[in-house]
Amino acid sequence: MIVYIDLENLLKEKNISKNKLCEACNLQRTQLNNYCKNKVSRIDFTILAKLCEFLDCTPNDILKLK
């Protein structure tokens, strides 16, 4: 099984822009884009916690199994 980040779809479902998410979670746009495009090799738990808090979701909503 492979774990992948399904953040892009979650943003679409919740109708939240990347800019708004970057501002709220204090992330750089490049950093967020890497998460949205699954270009990270290690997930920062602090970032994951910020995303979950702002998006009102759990890690299971962001991280999926293939």
What is residue 8's three-state secondary structure? helix
Superfamily holding 3-65 = lambda repressor-like DNA-binding domains (1.10.260.40)
> 6-51, pLDDT tens digit by residue?
999 999 999 999 999 999 999 999 999 999 999 998 999 999 999 9
pTM of the model: 0.89
What residue spans of 1-66 are helical by DSSP H?
7-14, 18-25, 29-36, 45-55, 59-62
Cα angle 66, 60, 8; round to 5 = 75
Write phi, then psi, for 25 (nearest 5 degrees): -100, 5
- Domain boundaries defined on the chain: 3-65
